[in-house]
Structure 1
Amino acid sequence: MKLMNIKTTLVIIAFLIFITTNFAQERITIVPHPKEIKLNEGELYLDEVVRVGFKNQKVSAVADLMAQDLYKLYQIRVKAKEGKADIFLDIDNSLAEEEFNIIVTKANVTVKGGSYNAVCMGVTSVLQLAKPKKAGLIFPLCEIKDKPTSEYRGVMLDVARQWHSIETVKQVVELCRWYKIRYLQIHLTDDQSFTFPSTTYPNLPTKGRHYSLDELKYLVDFATKRGVVIIPEFDAPGHTTAMRKAMPELFGPSNLGVVDMTKDEVYRAMETIMKEMMDVFYTSPYFHIGGDEAWLGEFQKKEATKAHVAKNDFDNAHDVYLDFLVKMHEVVKKHGKKTLVWESFSGEGSRKVKIPKDMIVFAWETAYQRPESLLKNGYTIINASWKPAYVTPGWRWTKEYIYNWNLHRWENHWNATPAYFNPIQLDKSTPILGGQLCSWEMSEEEQIASIHKRVSAISEVFWNGEGKKSYEDYNERAHIVDDLYTKLIFPVNVEREGFNEPEYEGIYFNRENEFSDKAKVKFKPILADTKLTYTTDGSMPTFSSPQLPKVLELDNNFSARIGVFNSKGLSIGYKVAKYEVNAIKSKIVGDTIPLRDINSKRNRVEFIDEVELELKNLKDQSEIRYTTDGSRPTMNSKRYQGNVLINSSMDLKASCFFDGVPYGKLYENKFVKKNYEKNITTAKKIVAVDRGTGSGINLDKAIDGFVDIDGYWDNSNEATSVIIDLDQETVISSIQLYTYWDGNRVYGYTVEASVNGKDWELIVDRTSNGEVATENGYIDEFTKTKAKFIRVNMLSNTANSSMHIVEVRAY
C-alpha cells in the first residue's frame, strides 16, 4: 500500500511538472531562446497604464523606446520616468558587456544588463515575453539569465546595387534589434552606385542614389538607441565602377576593373573618404574595406602598372592589389578601428606582400582560401558562408535549413568552390568570432519580406550555437515573435481572402501573395487615430498621399507603398505591398532528379527518360497557350489541352489568356534531359593513384553514370590516375571518356587494362591528343581485351594544371 502511494505521488508530481513546464514554456516565446530560464508559479499582471522606470540616466533612451513599443505592440499607455516602476531598467557593472538578467515577480519586472546594449536586448526579450490579457499584460513569473555565444552577430545590407530608402534601412535596424543582431554592415559602394555623400569629393555620390549626411547621422543615432552598431563598407579596389565613372581623372577609366592603384593621389583620396565615413559611423569599432573580386586583367596591361611593379620590387599586378589592401588596413588602424575584409587572398598573401594577421576575414566563398587555412595562417574569421547565409534574388535557403546550420560549417551552391561537393565542417571547438547573414542585390520591395524570417532563424545559430532547441520548438516561438516584428514596423492587422498559398514559407519571393482570380485584403490599423495612405509610383507615402481603402478588391496585379500616420501626421510605419495574379498551377508527373540547390529565378527540372507537365487553369473562361522554344506565348501558340510529354531538353513557357490578353504570371521552366547510362563502370570501386597524398575532389563523380559538366572529379593537382575495379573479368573493346568541356581545352591521357591489377596493357593512347573536349566525350575503339581493372592516366590539360574526369564508360 505504501509502495502504491509513493508511485501515485511520483506520477502526480511528474504530471504537475509536465503541466507547469508546458504551460510556462508556451509563454516563453523569445527568439533567440534564452540561455537560462527558471520558471516560477504564477504570473504578473500589469494594467493598461504601465510605468517604465530607471535609475541610471544612461538607459533613459531605451526606457522611452520601450514605452513606444509597448503602445505600438500592445496598445498599453506607458510612462517612462526615473525611479522604481512596473518595469525597471538598470545597468549592472558586475555583468559582462552583453549579459543581461530579467526577473519577473508578482510586483514588477526588472531588467539589468552589463551595458546599454545589454539592457536593450533585455527589453526586447521582455517585449517578446509579454502577452495581452484584458486591457493589460501578463508575464510568467520567471528568472532569465542570458548572453550570446558569439561575439560577432551581423547582417549585411546591400544598398549600392539596389537603392534603399532610409525608411527601409530603419526597418532592417529594427530587425537586427528584434533578434539581438549586434552589427549591421552597410555595403555603401559598388559598380552600380556610390551612396555615401562625400563632402571632399561632391561629384562622387551617384545622382539620385545617395544619402545625405543628415540622413546617415540620423540613422546612426536611430540604431545606437536600439543597441545596433552600423559598420560602413567601402568596397575597393574592385566593385568601383561608379567611382571611376564619376571621377575617371582621379580613380581611372570605367573599364579598368579596379581603381588605379599606381597613383599616390588615389591612396590620399581613399583615406579622405574613409575618414569621412568613420566620422559618420563613429559608433563602429570596425571598418570594412571590401577587397573581393578585384579583376586585374586590364589593370595589369597598363604601362604604369608594369612600372609600379618594377619600382616596388613586386612580382606582378596581384602584389599591387595585396599592397593596396595592406595600405587600406593601415588607414583603418591609424584612425583607431579594426579592419574587416572579404576572403580574397590565398595563404598569407604573396612572396613579396604579406596580409597582416590583425585583419579580420569574412570567410564566405572558400574559393580564395578555405576557412581552416585562414585559421592556420593566423587570421581571425567570421563565417559568412554563401550557403545558407546569403540571401539574393535567386539564391536563398529556407529558415529551417538556416536554423539547422552551424557556425563551423561552410557550403556553396557554386561547383567551382571546395565547399560545393564537400561541405567544410570544422571542429565545434574551433575559434570563430561569429557569423553574418548577407543580403545581396535585393530590391527594396523584396528586402524585408525575404530576410525577416531568415534573420530570425540565423539569430538562434549566432546566439545559442550548439545549445539550440529543436527546430519545432523554435518554429512555434518564431511565428509569434515574427508577427510582433511585423506589427512593430507596420502596426496594422491584415486579413486576406482568395490567395493561392497564403501560408507559404519557401524560397520563392511573394508566393504567399499570389491569387488566381479575385482576392480581398482588409487593413485594420491597430492604433487609434491612425491613417493609411499609399503610393503606386515607388515614392514614399506621406500624410497627404491618397488614403488607402479599408478593403482592397483585387482582380489584377497591385503594388504599393503603404504608410501609417498618427493624428499629428507623423509616420509610425510603412510596408511595400505586392499582390500578383498567378492563374496557372503546375505539376510534374514522372521521375525527376532532385536538385541540390534551387535558384528561385531560374526554374529547372532534370530527368532521365521522360516526364509530363500538368497545367491547371485557375481562371474561369480563360485558356493556356505554351511554347517549347523559350519564346513568350501568344494567342497563336499551341493551346494546352492535356499533359505535355517531355522527352528532350526544352525551355517551356506557358501563359493564361483571358479575352485574348495575357493574364497573370508567366509560367516558365527549363527541362533538362540528363545523359545517364548504367554502364559496367557505374558505381564500381574507384581509387586515385600516382602523385601527391590526396585523391582530389569528388572521385565518385567519375563513375556515377551521369555526364554532367557540374559533376566531375578534380584531381586538385594531386593524383593523376584513377583505377576502376569492374568486380569481374570483362571483355571490352571501347572506352568513352568525358572530360570537362568549355572553350577550346584539350586533354591528353592514356588508358590501360589489367586482369590482376599488376600487369597493365595500353589500350588507348592520346598522349598527343589534338581533339577539343566536347559534351560528346572522347571515343576510342580497340581490339577486344580482357579487363577486371581499367586505369585512366591524365597527362595534360591545355586550360590549366588540374585534371578533370566527368565520366568513364567502357563497352
Structure 2
Amino acid sequence: MIVASTLSVMLAKPLNILSLDVARRYHSPSTLRYLIRCCEVAKVPYIQLHLTDDQNWMFPSRLLEGVQKFNQNGKPPYSLTELRELQQFAQKRGVGLIPEIDLPGHSSILVRMDPAKFGINGRGNCINFASPSVREFSRQLVKEVAEVFSASPYIHIGGDEANYGELESDPSFSQQKAARSSSWTPAQSFVEFVGSLAEDVLTLNKTPLMWEGFSASAFAKARIPREAIVVAWEGDYYPAEQLVKDGYNVINAGWDPFYVVNHYPYDSFTLAPLPSLYAADRLKFGTFRAAKVPLNRSVGSMMCWWEGWQWNAQRYLPLRILALGSGGGKQDYAAFLKRGLASVAALDKEAFPFGVTTTGQCELAPDCFTKSLRVEVSPRDPRLEIAIRTDGEIPTVSDLRKSVTLEQTAVVSIQAYRRGRPVGETLYRQFSKVSEVRNLAWGARASAKTPEDPQFPLSALTDGVADKVGSFWLGYPNPSVITLDLASAKLASRVEVVPFWASGDRTNYRVSVYSSPKGWEQVGDASKNSTPPTASGDRFEFSARKVARVRVEVLGSTQYPSSIARIHEIRLF
C-alpha cells in the first residue's frame, strides 16, 4: 500500500501541526490565511482544520444538504471555493491543510438534523456507529473529504469523547451483537467503527489521524491499523506512554503545554505560559494535573486551539505558533521573545496594509477604555480605502470609513480595499469598556517565580482593570507566589484581590504585607474560601501602616485545572 511505504519517509522529520477549532466558533477565510502566514514564518508544516463539532458543521458535504439550518453560529459551511483557495494559498507558503471530521462523538448536530438516522435511541452527541446506514454515510463522507482535500496526505477522523452509554439498548447494536458474538461490547463496536473508518482513509492513499479516544485492549491493538497516527491529548482513555509501548504512531498533544483553550462561554484561557511551550521537551507528555511522563518516541507535536474567537486567535496564537515551530527551544527564551515579537510585527505589516491608532484608552490597559474610544485607521498606500465594522463581521465596501468612536465594548474589524477588491487580511480587535480603579498599587512592579506569559502578564495585576473577563495574570504551576513592589512605602490599611470571577470558581490564597520594622505579616486568608468570586473582589483590612510590598500566595483553584492561577487585580488602599 502506498501509505505504508511512504509513512516512514513522511515522518522522517517531526510532524508539527497547528489544530484550529473552526467548528465551535467561526473563523473567516481571511483569519485562516493570516494563521497560514504565521505557520509559514514559524516553519510549522501543517494546519489541521477541526471542521465539525456539536455546535456547527463547516464542511460542505453533498450528503448533508440543509445542515446550515442547524449551525449555531448562523453561518453556512465553508464553500468548496473557499476551501480550495485556502489550500492553494497554503501550498504556496509551504503549509499543508489537514481536514478533521470528528466522528462518532462531538456530532450532536447530526443527531439534531436527523435523530432517527444518527441518534443512539434517537438522541445524544454521538452518532449511532453500530448502524449500517451510519457506517455507510461515514464511508462516503470520508471520500468527499479526500476529494476536497486532495493534496493532504492526512485525514483526521476524530474518535474522542464519544458518549455512547445508551448504545447497548439500541436496536442497531443488538443486531450487530447478534451477528458478532454474545460477548460483543459497545467499546468493541466503537473500536470497530474507528478502525474501519481509518481503513477507509488508507484505501484513499492517505494516512488517518485519530484522537486518543479508545482504551487499551487486545481488540484495539488488532483492529486499529498500524499505519494510523494517534493524537495523545489527555491520557484518560489510553495513557500516552502505553500507546507508544503498544506500538502506535503517537503525536504529543498533551494539554501541558500544547493546548490553548479559550473557554465557553466566557473569555477564560487554559494554556501553559509561553516560556514553558517554547522550552517544552516534545518527548514528555503533560496534562496540568500530574507530573509529565516520558515518551520513548513521538512522531510529532500538535498545538490545539479550542473554542476560541477569531479575534483572540489573531492576538494570542502568532507567538505560540513561533514557539511550536522552534521544536523545543534551544536558545535563550528572552532572545526568542525579542525575535518573535519582531517577526509578528513584520508579519502584521504584510498582512494588514494599514496602521491603527486609538485615543481615550486606559493608560496601562490599551485595549480598554472608561468613557469612549476613538479608533483611527491609516492606509499605508493612499490608493487604499478602509472599511470598518464594530460587530465583528467582515467589512464590505458598504462600510467605508477611516475612524469610529466606541461608547461600548465592541469587536472592531478592519479591511482595506482597492477598486472594490479586498487587499490584505481582515484585522479583528476587541476593545472593552471597563471601570478603572486607581489605587496605591496601580502600576506597581509585580514579580513571581512561575514563568510569565507575555499575553497574560504580571503587569495585568496592577493595571487598574478587573472587570474585563479576558484580562488577567496567569500563573502555572500552583502554588504560586506574587510580590508587588511599591518602590516606596505607602500608608495603607486595605488590600483587595480580584481572582478570576466569570466562571464562579473559587481561588484559594493568602495575603501578606511588608512594612518596616514588622516585616511580613499575613493580613488575609482565603485559603478555605467558599464564596464564589465577584468582579469587586475580596477585601482584607488591617491596621494602618506604611506598606512597601504586598504578597499573594495562590494555593489552588476550583476552576479547571486547579494547577493554574488566574487573578485579575491586586489593589492597595
| Band the TM-score falls in, shorter-chain normalisation | 0.7 to 0.9
Residue number in structure 2 paired with 1:199: 62
Q: Distance in 1 between matches of 2:218 and 2:50?
A: 24
Please say if residues 111 and 125 of structure 2, whose CA atoms lie closer than 8 Å, have aligned partners that are also in contact: no
Match of 1:480 among 329, 342, 345: 342
1:235 Cα shift?
A: 0.7
Q: Deviations over 1:151-194 (max 9, x none)?
A: 31210111111122222222222222222111110011111111
User: 2:463 aligns to what?
Assistant: none
Change (3 A) 1:152 1:574: same
Alignment correspondent of 1:527: 381
Structure 2: runs of 5+ lacking an equivalent: 1-8, 263-268, 457-468, 484-492, 506-522, 541-554, 561-573
Q: By how many angstroms is 1:585 displaced?
A: 5.8
**Residue of structure 2 aligned with 1:301, choices 161, 169, 172:** 169
Cα distance in structure 1, aligned partners of 2:320 and 2:133: 43
Report what 1:539 is aligned to: 393
Q: Distance in 2 between matches of 1:669 and 1:486?
A: 40
Mapped pair 1:410 → 2:285 = yes
CA distance in 1, matches of 2:451, 2:111: 39
Q: Give the alignment of 1:313-712 within 5 angstroms.
A: 313=181, 314-348=183-217, 350=219, 354-393=223-262, 394-413=269-288, 420-426=289-295, 430-461=296-327, 465=328, 468-496=330-358, 499-500=361-362, 512-517=366-371, 521-549=375-403, 556-582=408-434, 583-584=436-437, 614=495, 649-651=529-531, 666-667=535-536
Give the 3 Å change call, closer, same or farther, for CA 645–432 of structure 1 in structure 2: closer
TM-score by length of 1: 0.52
8 A Cα contact 2:157 2:208, kept in partner: yes
- In the alignment, which of 175, 178, 183 is matched to residue 46 of structure 2? 183
- Aligned counterpart, 2:129: 261
SS at match of 2:397: coil
Q: 1:572 to 1:257 in 2, by over 3 A?
A: closer
- Quick one: distance in 2 between partners of 1:523 and 1:538? 16
Q: d(CA) in 2 for partners of 1:437 and 1:311?
A: 41
Equivalent positions of 1:133-144 (< 5 A) are none
Residue pair 1:408, 1:432 contacting (<8 A) in 2 also: yes
Which residue in the other structure is 1:18 paired with? none
* TM-aligned CA distance change 1:294 to 1:708, over 3 Å: same
CA distance in 2 between counterparts of 1:351 and 1:538 reads 45
1:266-285 matches, within 5 Å, as 266-285=134-153
> Which residue type is aligned with residue 564 of structure 1?
A
Q: Which 10-residue stretch deviates more, 279-288 or 385-394?
A: 385-394
Residue pairs, 1:23-38, within 5 angstroms: none
CA contact (8 A) 2:353 2:423 kept: no
* Cα displacement (A) at 1:315: 3.3
Deviations 1:563-620 (A, max 9, x none): 111245333222112111331368799xxx9999999869999999xx997359xxxx
Q: How does 1:143-292 map to 2 (within 5 A)?
A: 150-205=13-68, 206-207=70-71, 208-252=75-119, 255-292=123-160
Give aligned pairs, total.
471
Shift of 1:340: 0.4
- TM-score relative to the length of structure 2: 0.73
What CA distance in whole angstroms lies between the structure 1 residues aligned with 2:148 and 2:220? Answer: 37
Shift of the alpha carbon at 1:402?
1.2
Query: SS at 2:415's partner residue?
Result: strand
The answer to whether the Cα contact below 8 Å between 2:39 and 2:95 also exists between their aligned partners in 1 is yes
1:349–1:355 contact (8 Å) kept in structure 2: no
Deviation for aligned residue 1:391:
0.9
| Structure with the larger RCO, 1 or 2 (CA within 8 Å, 6+ apart) | 2
Displacement of 1:321: 0.2
Q: Distance in 2 between matches of 1:327 and 1:567?
A: 52
- The alpha carbon displacement at 1:497 in A equals 5.3
Aligned-residue offset at 1:299: 1.7
The letter of the residue matching 1:384 is: A
Q: Distance in 1 between matches of 2:213 and 2:90?
A: 30
State the Cα distance separating 1:277 from its structure 2 match: 0.9
- Equivalent pair of 2:168/2:186 in contact (CA under 8 Å): yes
Q: How far did 1:670 drift?
A: 12
- Alignment deviations for residues 61-109 of structure 1 (CA, whole Å, 9 cap, x no partner): xxxxxxxxxxxxxxxxxxxxxxxxxxxxxxxxxxxx99xxxxxxxxxxx
* Structure 2 counterpart of 1:294, one-letter code: A
Instruction: Determine the C-alpha separation between the residues in 2 that align with 1:353 and 1:255.
Output: 31
Structure 2: which amino acid aligns with 1:475? L
Distance (Å, rounded) in 2 between the aligned partners of 1:500 and 1:710: 29
Q: Distance in 2 between matches of 1:311 and 1:585?
A: 72
In 1, distance between residues paired with 2:244 and 2:273?
Answer: 29
Distance 1:522 1:332 in 2: 50
Partner Cα distance (2:37, 2:125) in 1: 36
- 1:584, 1:667 within 8 Å by CA — same for their partners in 2? no
Deviates more, 1:401-410 or 1:485-494: 485-494
Q: Give, as a single letter, the amino acid of the residue that structure 2 aligns with 1:317.
A: P
**Rounded Cα–Cα distance in structure 1 between residues aligned with 2:128 and 2:222:** 18
| Matched-pair contact (CA < 8 Å) for 2:479–2:556 | no
* CA–CA distance in structure 1, aligned partners of residues 556 and 59 of structure 2: 49
Q: Which amino acid aligns with 2:56?
A: S
Secondary structure of the 1:185 match is strand
Tell me which amino acid in the other structure corresponds to 1:614: V
Match of 1:122 in 2: none
Q: 1:39-54 residue pairs with structure 2 within 5 A?
A: none
* RMSD of aligned Cα (Å): 3.9
The residue type paired with residue 451 of structure 1 is L
Partners of 1:380 and 1:669 lie apart in 2 by 49
- Give the partner amino acid of 1:484: A
Inter-partner Cα distance in structure 1 for 2:93 and 2:378: 27
Q: Could you tell me how far 1:652 is from its partner in structure 2?
A: 6.3
How much does 1:272 deviate?
1.0
Which amino acid letter does the alignment assign opposite residue 372 of structure 1? E
Contact 2:385–2:400 under 8 Å retained in 1: no
When residues 597 and 149 of structure 1 are mapped into structure 2, their CA distance, relative to the original with a 3 A threshold, is farther
Q: Summarize the Cα distance change of 1:246–1:378 in structure 2 as closer, same or farther, 3 Å threshold.
A: same
Report the alpha carbon displacement of residue 495 of structure 1 after superposing the two structures with TM: 3.6
Unaligned 5+ segments in structure 1 are: 1-96, 99-147, 414-419, 503-510, 617-623, 632-643, 655-665, 672-705, 712-811
Distance 1:289 1:531 in 2: 43
What is the distance in 2 between the residues matched to 1:407 and 1:240? 31
